[in-house]
């Protein structure tokens, strides 16, 4: 038997993931080298301008290792860096070195990171291998436990080779690694100042200290979070702004009015219902594409009536996705056939609509499955909904008549968001709908939500073959083979209709035309590194 | 007099105790779990349990209540669960002044507009002017304040660019800029009260103007403006103060919507986000502040009667 060249496999896989330019540069010394060198720039950036951006959603904490919200990451990512970062060229999402200057792979389980030289935290302490080790351990085994700890569960050993070199040993090949070590959505790879963590303890989330382009200044509850430029930032010439204010707001239409009147310069999130107005306004630029998410109608597989596979299949084929997109998502979303979403560059199938995989609207098929269901009478089922997210209760109201077509009477129950979470977590529903926003990798898209004993498997769908496929894919480093495994897993999920997938949603950001240089990344990020204001 | 006042204050304390127990208990009974909300969708049972015991939420109800009450009275209001904000600073030093500014601005505005409008309606009873002011008052009462707020924003702030869309500037730091930022929200919140005060003033004044002492004043040959504004309008003070005390609840309720629409970081916004996030301690602080405010103002109203009406000064 021919031995497998793991290093080659991983290199190929990474070259597919990282930009071509980065890989070419990296061929000499390590496997990868960042485009810019680590020496701090002697040319100091001239910062000017003060940007004010409305942040519409909840900010729970500015501690990257503890936040549960992408709205917090939007701000955190301007204060901190990760070992890696997400980049986007308008077509492909790639994972590039950030604080790491190079990433060498000794074998498929041992990864060596060389850090940029001379990088300092905002408190003046050096960002070296010790700090990286500290941050990774804080995520992996810190107390209280980080909700992102599972992302580093396979990390077995951290060795400091020299002050700027760190060697990570994993117990298995780990395909999710580029996402896990990310400073953005992955969160687990964000590097925090050890001195600040020791100083502030549990209050670090209100006193964050990172290496990023902006320093934290203040956070006034329900009012604003203020940042100021970090003049010693390691990327030459950045940041361009002198100050940035995130104005904390509850009411998106007020934020839009403030944008139109020039009181603020942008919004971190522009709900779908307001997009028409933004498009009609000449002095604003809209950014937004389909991001890493999927929306679905969840069914409770643990109890009657949806423990019946044929009834679930009937539901999955009865949903008219075109109508749902038009009525519930303001015509802005994209029909989904399976959970894996477009920005997962290597895993999304661009021909999904014609591939025959997944599910779509076919009333005949739905009715034939309905005819096979055990219960042939009219079925009454509780559809739990909440005023939550941009579409709120619209999905339920659009879906209910479609269910009536196949003899299912959905009883719509509107509950308050906290109750909704509690009931969902206790699997106390027949139907609910949700949008799963995933880290940009199929693993986090599928596995924790649908594995048999998964903490987030609220519908309780169980299939051990699916579990095995996902577990294999986690350690499969060859992208094509990994993709094939995930497709099989998705097909099982769709065939047994564990959920009925509906759409992939766009996430919008809007800036005044005065704002220049914003680089859109389809991971709900608002990176202000390159932004300037006229 | 003093004895009466002391009695009122004792009553107040009992009411506050009842309010604190009730709000503490109701929140616990409400479905939803702060820890689940704090941890978002990604968490393990271990992090759940450790957080629960760290926050003391695994203690029995009475222990939690007693803990909280003792700390609260000492001014130690704790930190919010998620954002780790110092609640005393957040609620008392930051949020309360905003709401007080908004409420008092609206109230003063409502009195300044409502009383003259009511007086004019009473004098010009059953004329076109009176009918017009009645329509205005009815509209003011019926118009939902959040809609009015949004309309005002679009017209005055976006189209005409006369006022800022949102935000709060403390009038203690910059008086005129503070007032400038308060105009639209103040107008929004005060419409209901302008209407109410107009109707109240009109009704009271019409009655007063039929009293014998008004006829006497007229007979003395006092000018009409003096009869109305000096002898007549004085009598509005009692019913006005009474009704404002009672309607303070409506005013505070109105601040919630107004603060949301105009993005003012006051008690209303604080309470809304805290209730949705099950930030028990913040809700508790907000409820207590509101209760103290409500009861305190009504206490003042009670105590003010002897000053407003000389007949009440001689205790029997």
Residue A2 pLDDT level (bands cut at 50, 70, 90): very low
B41, B54, B165: residue with CB nearest A456? B41
Show residues of chain A in contact with B84, CB under 8 Å.
Answer: 61, 202-203, 205-206
For residue range A345-401, what is the model confidence (pLDDT) as tens digits?
889 998 999 999 999 999 999 999 999 999 898 999 999 998 876 687 899 999 999
Say whether domain A290-507 belongs to CATH 3.10.105.10.
yes
User: What average pLDDT is seen over chain B?
Assistant: 86
For residue range A191-248, what is the model confidence (pLDDT) as tens digits?
999 999 999 988 899 999 999 999 999 998 888 999 999 999 999 988 999 999 999 9
A61, A144, A148: residue with CB nearest B83? A61
Whether a cis peptide bond, with omega within 30° of 0, leads into A305 is yes
The count of other CB atoms within 10 Å of the CB of residue B225 is 9
Show residues of chain A in contact with B79, CB under 8 Å.
Answer: 203
User: What average pLDDT is seen over chain A?
Assistant: 87
Q: Spell out the domain ranges in chain B.
A: 88-312
B85 interface with A at CB cutoff 8 Å = yes
Nearest to A499 by CA among A453, A436, A421: A436
The interface residues of chain A toward chain B in range 382-441, judged by CB-CB distance below 8 A, are 416-419, 421-423, 425
- Percent share of chain A, pLDDT over 70: 91
- B47:A254 CB<8 A: no
For residue range A401-452, what is the model confidence (pLDDT) as tens digits?
999 999 999 999 999 887 888 899 889 999 999 988 888 889 888 988 899 9
The pairing of beta strand A408-414 with beta strand A293-299: unpaired
B38, B150, B273: residue with CB nearest A222? B273
Show residues of chain A in contact with B46, CB under 8 Å.
Answer: 145
B221 interface with A at CB cutoff 8 Å = no
ipTM associated with this complex: 0.80
Q: Spell out the domain ranges in chain A.
A: 50-248+513-533, 290-507
Show residues of chain B in contact with A138, CB under 8 Å.
Answer: none
Angle at A202 between CA A196 and CA A207, to 5 degrees: 45
Q: Of A154-168, A267-281, A306-320, B218-232, where does mean pLDDT reach its minimum? A: B218-232
- A416:B43 CB<8 A: no
Q: How many residues does chain A have?
A: 534
Task: Give the CA distances from residue B204 to residues B190, B233, B236, B247, in Å, rounded to whole numbers and listed in that order.
Answer: 21, 9, 6, 18
For residue range A442-500, what is the model confidence (pLDDT) as tens digits?
988 898 889 998 878 999 999 999 999 999 998 888 889 999 999 999 999 999 999 99
Which of B167, B263, B269, B270 is most worth mutating to test chain A (most A CB atoms within 10 A of its CB)?
A: B263
The chain A residue lying nearest B90, using CA atoms, is A221
B42 interface with A at CB cutoff 8 Å = yes
According to the model, what pLDDT value does residue A19 have?
A: 36
The chain B residue lying nearest A386, using CA atoms, is B276
- B263:A254 CB<8 A: yes
For residue range B146-197, what is the model confidence (pLDDT) as tens digits?
889 999 999 999 989 899 998 898 888 899 999 999 999 999 999 989 999 9
According to the model, what pLDDT value does residue A24 have?
A: 32
B38, B154, B278: residue with CB nearest A60? B38
The interface residues of chain A toward chain B in range 55-84, judged by CB-CB distance below 8 A, are 58-61, 67-69
- A221:B277 CB<8 A: no
3-state secondary structure string across chain B: CHHHHHHHHHHHHHHHHHHHHHHHHHHHHCCCCHHHHHHCCCCCHHHHHHHHHHCCCCCCHHHHHHHHHHHHHCCCCCECCCCCCEHHHHHHHHHHHHHHHHHHHHHHHHHHHHHHHHHHHHHCCCCHHHHHHHHHHHHHHHCCHHHHHHHHHHHHHHHCCCCCCCCCCCCCCCHHHHHHHHHHHHHHHHHHHHHHHHHHHHHHHHHHCCCHHHHHHHHCCCCHHHHHHHHHHHHHHHHHHHHHHHHHHHHHHHHHHHHHHCCCCCHHHHHHHHHHCCCHHHHHHHHHHHHHHHHHHHHHHHHHHHHHCHHHCCCC
- B263:A250 CB<8 A: yes
- B260:A250 CB<8 A: yes
For residue range A21-75, what is the model confidence (pLDDT) as tens digits?
333 333 333 334 344 444 444 455 578 899 999 998 788 889 999 887 888 999 9
Residue A124 pLDDT level (bands cut at 50, 70, 90): very high
A222, A253, A421: residue with CB nearest B37? A421
- Asked if residue A333 has pLDDT above 90, the reply is yes
Distance from CA of B274 to the nearest CA of A (A): 11
According to the model, what pLDDT value does residue A370 have?
A: 94
- A68:B42 CB<8 A: yes
Interface A-B, measured as beta-carbon pairs within 8 A, has a size of: 142
The interface residues of chain A toward chain B in range 31-50, judged by CB-CB distance below 8 A, are none
- Asked if residue B248 has pLDDT above 90, the reply is no
- A261:B50 CB<8 A: no
What CA–CA distance (Å, rounded) separates B182 from B192?
17
| Residue reference for tokens 């029995």 | B60
pTM higher than 0.80, yes or no? yes
A145 interface with B at CB cutoff 8 Å = yes
Angle at B142 between CA B136 and CA B148, to 5 degrees: 85
- B41:A68 CB<8 A: yes
- A257:B168 CB<8 A: no
Q: How much is the average pLDDT of A270-275? A: 91
- B153:A61 CB<8 A: no
According to the model, what pLDDT value does residue A41 have?
A: 45
CATH, range B88-312 = 1.10.3720.10
The chain A residue lying nearest B47, using CA atoms, is A145
Q: What's domain A50-248+513-533's architecture? A: 3-Layer(aba) Sandwich (3.40)
């Amino acid at each position: 038997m021919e031995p497998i060249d793991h290093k080659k496999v991983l290199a190929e896989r990474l070259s597919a993931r990282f930009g071509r330019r980065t890989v070419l540069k990296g061929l000499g010394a390590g496997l990868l080298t960042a485009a810019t060198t680590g020496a701090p720039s002697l040319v100091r950036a001239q910062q000017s301008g003060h940007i004010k951006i409305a942040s519409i959603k909840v900010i729970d904490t500015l501690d990257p290792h503890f936040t549960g919200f992408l709205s917090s990451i939007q701000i955190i990512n301007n204060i901190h860096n990760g070992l890696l970062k997400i980049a986007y060229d308008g077509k492909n999402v790639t994972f590039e070195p950030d604080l790491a200057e190079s990433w060498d792979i000794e074998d498929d389980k041992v990864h060596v990171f060389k850090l940029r030289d001379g990088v300092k935290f905002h408190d003046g302490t050096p960002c070296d291998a010790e700090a990286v080790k500290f941050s990774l351990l804080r995520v992996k085994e810190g107390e209280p436990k980080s909700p992102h700890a599972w992302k580093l569960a396979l990390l077995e050993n951290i060795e400091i080779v020299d002050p700027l070199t760190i060697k990570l040993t994993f117990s298995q090949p780990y395909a999710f690694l580029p996402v896990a070590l990310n400073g953005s959505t992955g969160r687990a790879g964000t590097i925090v100042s050890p001195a600040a963590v020791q100083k502030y303890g549990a209050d670090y989330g209100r006193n964050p200290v990172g290496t990023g382009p902006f320093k934290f200044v203040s956070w006034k509850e329900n009012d604003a979070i203020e940042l100021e430029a970090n003049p010693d930032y390691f990327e030459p010439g950045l940041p361009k702004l002198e100050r940035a204010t995130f104005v904390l707001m509850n009411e998106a239409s007020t934020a839009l009015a403030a944008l139109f009147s020039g009181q603020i310069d942008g919004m971190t999130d522009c709900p779908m219902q307001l997009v028409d107005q933004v498009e009609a306004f000449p002095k604003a630029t809209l950014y937004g594409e389909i991001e890493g998410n999927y929306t679905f109608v969840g069914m409770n597989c643990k109890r009657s009536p949806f423990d019946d596979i044929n009834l679930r299949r009937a539901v999955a084929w009865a949903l008219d996705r075109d109508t749902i997109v038009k009525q519930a998502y303001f015509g802005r979303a994209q029909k989904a056939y399976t959970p894996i979403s477009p920005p997962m560059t290597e895993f999304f199938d661009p021909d999904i609509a014609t591939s025959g995989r997944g599910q779509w609207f076919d009333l005949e098929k739905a009715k034939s499955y309905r005819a096979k269901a055990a219960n042939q009478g009219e079925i009454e089922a509780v559809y739990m909904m909440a005023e939550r997210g941009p579409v709120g209760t619209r999905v339920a109201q659009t879906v209910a008549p479609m269910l009536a077509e196949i003899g299912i009477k959905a009883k719509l129950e509107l509950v308050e968001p906290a109750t909704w979470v509690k009931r969902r977590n206790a699997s106390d529903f027949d139907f609910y709908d949700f949008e799963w926003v995933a880290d940009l990798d199929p693993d986090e898209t599928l596995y924790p939500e649908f594995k048999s004993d998964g903490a987030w498997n609220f519908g309780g769908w169980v299939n051990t073959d699916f579990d095995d496929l996902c577990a294999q894919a986690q350690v499969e480093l060859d992208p094509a083979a990994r993709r094939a495994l995930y497709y099989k897993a998705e097909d099982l999920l769709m065939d047994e209709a564990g959920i009925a997938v509906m759409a992939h949603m766009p996430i919008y950001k809007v800036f005044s035309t005065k704002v220049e240089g914003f680089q859109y990344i389809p991971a709900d990020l608002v990176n202000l590194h390159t932004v300037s204001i006229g | 007099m003093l004895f009466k006042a002391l009695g009122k204050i004792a009553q107040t304390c009992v009411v506050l105790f009842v309010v604190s127990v009730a709000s503490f208990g109701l929140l616990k009974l409400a479905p939803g779990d702060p820890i689940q909300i704090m941890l978002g969708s990604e968490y393990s049972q271990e992090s759940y349990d450790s957080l629960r015991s760290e926050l003391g939420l695994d203690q029995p109800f009475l222990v939690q209540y007693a803990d909280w009450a003792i700390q609260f009275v000492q001014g130690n209001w704790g930190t919010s669960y998620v954002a780790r904000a110092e609640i005393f600073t957040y609620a008392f030093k930051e949020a309360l002044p905003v709401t007080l500014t908004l409420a008092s601005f609206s109230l003063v505005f409502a009195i300044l507009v409502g009383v003259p409008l009511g007086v004019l309606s009473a004098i010009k009873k059953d004329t076109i002017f009176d009918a017009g002011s009645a329509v205005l008052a009815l509209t003011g009462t019926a118009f939902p304040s959040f809609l009015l707020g949004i309309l005002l924003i679009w017209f005055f702030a976006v189209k005409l660019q006369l006022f800022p869309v949102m935000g709060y500037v403390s009038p203690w730091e910059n008086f005129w800029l503070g007032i400038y930022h308060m105009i639209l929200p103040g107008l929004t919140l005060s419409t209901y009260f302008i209407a109410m005060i107009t109707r109240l003033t009109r009704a009271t004044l019409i009655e007063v103007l039929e009293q014998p002492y008004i006829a006497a004043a007229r007979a003395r040959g006092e000018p009409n403006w003096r009869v109305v504004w000096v002898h007549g309008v004085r009598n509005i003070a009692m019913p006005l103060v009474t009704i404002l005390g009672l309607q303070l609840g409506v005013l505070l309720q109105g601040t919630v919507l107004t603060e949301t629409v105009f993005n003012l970081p006051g008690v209303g916004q604080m309470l809304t986000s805290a209730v949705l996030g099950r930030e028990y301690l913040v809700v508790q602080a907000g409820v207590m502040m509101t209760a103290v405010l409500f009861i305190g103002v009504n206490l003042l109203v009670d105590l003010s009667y002897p000053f407003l009406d000389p007949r009440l000064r001689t205790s029997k």
